[in-house]
Structure 1
Amino acid sequence: MDIADFRDKILKQDRRALARAITLVESARADHRAQASELLEALRGAGKQSLRIGLSGTPGVGKSTFIESFGMMLTASGLRVAVLAVDPSSARSGGSILGDKTRMEFLSRDPNAFIRPSPSQTHLGGVARRTREAVALCEAAGFDVVLIETVGVGQSETVVAEMSDLFLLLLAPAGGDELQGVKRGIMEMADIILVNKADGDLKTTAMRTCADYAGALRLLRKRPQDPQGFPKAMTVSAVEKAGLETAWEEMTTLINWRRETGHWDQRRAQQASFWFHEEVKQGLLARLQQGEAKEAIAALETRVATGDVTPSAAADSVLRILNISAR
């Protein structure tokens, strides 16, 4: 693979090259990982700083419908939009449906949009392990907005906040009350809460839910990265495309304020540090599946199961092989 040629094609917004590059960074093969690292290093600092928007919500809340309506609105205004959708992988077979392009029928045909579904595999937190690197590739390819749609599992799905500039939480009408709204976890990570399906018979319920969460947000501790009035709750209807423009205006207001006050650059620096530590952790975990450590784990597993050795003592033995102290 000619990395320099690959780099040039991505910078020229070659969609096929971008798709191949994302496949490369998602591969777990050692030779592919080496090539992916070389490509990412070659693209470092190139392209533009896209607006990264993380989007989470419970299954069935209408994330795909919202992304299609929202994405079509953005492309109609002249923006190029990339969608990185993470699909849950089966705990039994390991497979994923990857049906997001089917759900986003109109956006997938838009020449100013790029949709890439990826399996979550065994990675927790709502995103795939290499989603962050896929975001970097989309930035290099010149996309103005990168939407990161998470699996949608619940309160612990906060990793996406570590790779996005803006975190949206999509909720359904009657999805909770003020007490639910003040729970720690994903609620305190959200920048804007959008109560979807505010149409038809559910409109009144959606308005009430929005008021509940707006009240709950006022009880949360003030964050330094928020101007007055944020985070906030709003109602939208992805089906009727109602409230989308207002939501985009609020997002733009928040991002412009963060850019002007230095919070944008500060947050990106913190995220880079976070992912450095994550890569170190994942690298150490990978070493447990290789060489002496793998053999030691296999040998000690049976002894732990039969009670001949405690789990802590067995773990210490494995870590000593890696020259790592458990203390």
Structure 2
Amino acid sequence: MRVLGLETSCDETGVAIYDTDRGLLAHALYSQIAVHAEYGGVVPELASRDHIRKTLPLIQQVLDEADCAATDIDGIAYTAGPGLVGALMVGATLARSLALGWGIPSLGVHHMEGHLLAPMLEARAPDFPFIALLVSGGHTQLVRVDDIGEYRVLGESVDDAAGEAFDKVAKMLNLPYPGGPHVARLAEAGTPGRFDFPRPMVNRPGLDFSFSGLKTHTLTTVRECSVDGVLPEQDRCDIARAFEEAVVATLVIKCRRALEQEQLSTLVMAGGVSANRNLRARLDADLGKRGMQVFYPAPEFCTDNGAMIAYAGARRLAVGQVDAFETAVRPRWPMHELPPLTGERAA
């Protein structure tokens, strides 16, 4: 089965073609970072407009790269939620219109299920069951995954997601949007151990996260170190390092706790923050010495992309799950509402 996947949940337009026999045939991504950078964050109306401009040309691009015609496509998967409602509507409307015109089924895919399954695109893929750490700009969750559609959320952020905290700290340090990669690069020049920032919620039971207090602690440190409103460069580096180390340590502790609680030995980490090299190194070292293993998507599939939507959609379309006529996008969509990989359903 050959599936066209469309990702338009936020500020990146992703398109891909996945073949259930041959794997990923082609993918393309357009990032709106330059569009939103001057505003310091995503402007929903601008995001929707850019998806309108870019999605059709990207579809043609991946068709050409995969040496496919429209008649070679057996189904279309698109991100139905969660995400920005206007951006979601662009992808959903286009996907369902093309499916109707081409006489093929369409299916709305859960954005975070796409991230969770992104490591399945790699040659070395995890086996079920496993624990998934979904860590991005909008989500920080630990999920027990027994199979596709069989998810149990073990813990999640009660306030800011880790990615949001990175972006807000980047603003404090006068770094560009999106903040995560810039904070990580600045942290490389930081002095180890100069600041010791708190590891939030690690000394209490449970698997939930909270990064708002860490964000406030960072802001307080920035103000204390500033001279006449200017933060010295080395202080910027040291604060970035202390903040990143606190986030990484917190995530590692919670992942280890989740694996031990569920008596599992495999962790999957996905989402934009999963590209953080320090986080990957710490997880590999900490879990590896306990006989546990970690799986990641390729760096190009850590952020939002069409390949993960094409793959997730292909798995569900292949068992007959298709859109109902009245299907709508869902800006909020709890993962536990997803059905298992059997039977028909509406997104």
Task: Please state which band the TM-score falls in when normalised by the shorter chain.
Answer: under 0.3
Choose between structure 1 and 2: higher strand proportion. 2
Q: TM-score, normalised by structure 2?
A: 0.27
Q: Tell me which protein shows more helix as a share of its residues.
A: 1
Larger RCO: Structure 1 or Structure 2 (Cα < 8 Å, ≥ 6 residues apart)?
2
Larger radius of gyration: 1
